[in-house]
Structure 1
Amino acid sequence: MIYNYAFTALITLIAAAVFAVGAWQIQNWRFDAKEKQRIEAQLEQRRTDEKAASAASTAFEKDRSNNENRTRTVYVKVDKIIDRPVYRSVCVDADGLRLLNGAIGRTDDAGEPGSPLPGPAAGG
C-alpha cells in the first residue's frame, strides 16, 4: 500500500515536471512571438526613417544646387554693377589727394604735446 502512494506521488511529480516544462516552452514561444513582432516593428521603423532621410537628402541637394546657381548669378550681376574705373597709374583720387595735402600742411607735430602741463595752483 505504501508503494501505491509512492508510485502515485512519483507519477504526480513526473506529470508536474512535464507540465512545467510544457508551460515553460509555451512561454518561450509567446516571448519569441512578441520579440519577433518587436524586431519587425523596429525594422519597419528603420525603413521609414531611411526613406525620410533619403527624401530629406534629395531635397537638400536640390536646394543646394539651386543656391549654387543663384550664387553664380549674383556674381555675374555684381560684375556688371561696377562703374568706377580701376586705378591704373594713380593710386589716390582727388579726395584722397586733398586729405594728404591737408595733413602735410599742418604745423603741429604729433610727437610733441600741444600745450604744457598746468603747474601747481597758486594760493591753496
Structure 2
Amino acid sequence: MTKLRLAGLALLLVATAAGSWQARGWYEDSHRLTAERALRLAIDAAFARESEIAAGVEARLAELTANERVIDRGIIREIEKPLYRNVCLGDDAVRLLNDAATGRAPDPAEPAAALSGRAAGAD
C-alpha cells in the first residue's frame, strides 16, 4: 500500500505542477492580450485624430486651390483686355516686346527715328 500511496502522491505532485504551469501560461497570456488590446486602442485613437486633422487640411487645401484657380482666371482676363495691350505701352515698346518674344534682338546702331518708322509700318 505504501508504494501505491507514494505513486499517487507523485502523480498528484506532477498533476499539480502541470496544472500550475498551465495556469501560469494562461495568466501571462491574459496580460499580453490586455497589453495588445490597449495598444490597439491607442493606435486607433491616434489614427482617428490624424484622420480628423488630415480631413481639415484637405478641406483647407481644396479651398485654397479653388481660390487660386479663380484668381488665375481673373488675371488672364485682365491682361487680355485691349486697354492693356494698346494703351499702356507705346508703339516702340510693343514692337520691342514683340521682337523679344520672337527672339529677334534689336540693333543698337539703328536710330530712334528708324525704329518709329518700322513700328508704324509693322501695324
Same structural fold, with TM-score higher than 0.5 when normalized by the shorter chain: yes
Relative CO higher for 1 or 2, CA cutoff 8 Å, sep ≥ 6? Answer: 2
Shift of 1:3: 2.4
Q: Which amino acid aligns with 1:79?
A: E
Q: State the superposition RMSD in angstroms.
A: 2.3
1:44 aligned to 2:67? Answer: no
Match of 1:15 in 2: 16
Match of 2:60 in 1: 59
Q: Aligned equivalents of 1:95 and 1:40: distance in 2?
A: 79
Match of 1:95 in 2: 118
Q: Aligned equivalents of 1:68 and 1:13: distance in 2?
A: 80
Q: Which amino acid aligns with 1:82?
A: R
Q: Which runs of 5+ in 1 are unaligned?
A: 86-92, 99-124
Offset from partner CA, 1:35-86 (integer Å, 9 cap, x none): 111111111111112112111110110100110111122112202321169x
Q: Percent identity?
A: 12
Match of 1:4 in 2: 5
Q: Aligned equivalents of 1:58 and 1:7: distance in 2?
A: 75
Q: Which runs of 5+ in 2 are unaligned?
A: 92-115
- Report the count of equivalent residues: 91
Tell me which structure has the larger Cα radius of gyration: 1
Q: Aligned equivalents of 1:69 and 1:96: distance in 2?
A: 36
Q: Please, what TM-score do these two structures have when normalized by structure 1?
A: 0.64
Q: Secondary structure at the match of 1:58?
A: helix
Off by >6 Å, runs of 4+ in structure 1: none
Shift of 1:29: 0.9
Q: Aligned equivalents of 1:62 and 1:9: distance in 2?
A: 79
